[in-house]
Amino acid sequence: MISERILNVWRRVFKPFEYPAELEHAIGDAKTVLDVGCGYPSPIKGFSKKFHAVGVDLFEPSIEKSRAEGIHNDYLKIDVLEIGAKLKDKSFDCVLASDLIEHLSKEDGIKLLEMMERIAKERVVVFTPNGFLSQGEYDGNPWQIHRSGWTPAEMNQRGYRVVGINGYKSLRGPYSYLKYKPEFFWQIVSDMTQLVLKRFPNAAFQILCVKDVRRIENRIQ
């Protein structure tokens, strides 16, 4: 179909601005990455850069699928709220939580961020919907339910710089599905709005948040 061809061409053009590319840029030159709540497939799967990655998840099917494709070097099957007890402070260059904290209560989400910030040697990277987005159980995984929402202002207050992802918020619903048809047209519209909303995350559908832990610690010292 012509619409599919147009979308395929557009996807190749827009690829440098998609979430995986933005995430790889945010992780930067890290040599070790802790992928908390890695699920399947983790967004690190298609990265061009190589680093030692450890995936953390409690859902066995996700770990097994990920292990089969060699997405991470090692895996920890534990509750994400146990990482503070299982891992040493400053033991990973970068600690990543992609599509995770919205599945926790606000209180537990704050606890997780604090643990991630202790474990990270250089930076913490968090990807989450902009504000609360209702979502239920998915793919047989009870941990897919959304329990909290996080805004750019909240993350700024915690010392994170925030980038808008996946375009204008009103164009999408649960599971990032576009609300309108034809999908190929609205996908292009959404992508084009991201080019602007990257710098204005308050209106974006999702937010990519980065905290430079080492820079903050050096400033305190």
The two tokens of residue 18 are 């998609």
What's the pLDDT at 217? 58
- Give the start-to-end residue ranges of the domains of the chain: 27-163+204-220
pLDDT in tens, the chain (221 residues): 678 888 888 889 899 999 999 999 999 999 999 999 999 999 999 999 889 999 999 999 999 999 999 999 999 999 999 999 999 999 999 999 999 999 999 999 999 999 999 999 999 999 999 999 988 877 667 778 999 999 999 999 999 999 999 999 999 988 889 999 998 899 999 999 999 999 999 999 999 999 999 866 555 54
pLDDT of residue 128: 98
pLDDT value for 26: 97
Contact between 91 and 97 under an 8 Å Cβ cutoff? The reply is no
Q: Render the burial of 207-216: b for 16+ CB within 10 Å, e for the rest.
A: bbbbbbbeee
User: SS3 sequence, the chain?
Assistant: CHHHHHHHHHHHHHHHHCHHHHHHHHHCCCCEEEEECCCCCCHHHHCCCCCEEEEECCCHHHHHHHHHHCCCCEEECCCHHHHHHHCCCCCEEEEEEECCHHHCCHHHHHHHHHHHHHHEEEEEEEEEEECCCCCCCECCEHHHCCCCCECHHHHHHCCCEEEEEEEEHHHECHHHCECCCCHHHHHHHHHHHHHHHCCCHHHEEEEEEEEEHHHHHHHHC
Q: Report the alpha-carbon distance of residue 219 to residue 221 in Å, rounded.
A: 5
Longest dimension (CA), the chain: 60
Q: What is the pLDDT of residue 174?
A: 83
Q: What span, in angstroms and rounded, lies between the C-alpha atoms of 210 and 207?
A: 10
Q: Domain 27-163+204-220 in CATH: superfamily?
A: Vaccinia Virus protein VP39 (3.40.50.150)
Q: In the prediction, which pLDDT does 215 show?
A: 66
pLDDT on residue 216:
60
Half-sphere CA count of 143, side-chain side, radius 13 A: 15
Q: Is the pTM of this model over 0.85?
A: yes
For the packed helices 2-14 and 183-197, what is the interaxial angle rounded to 10 degrees?
20
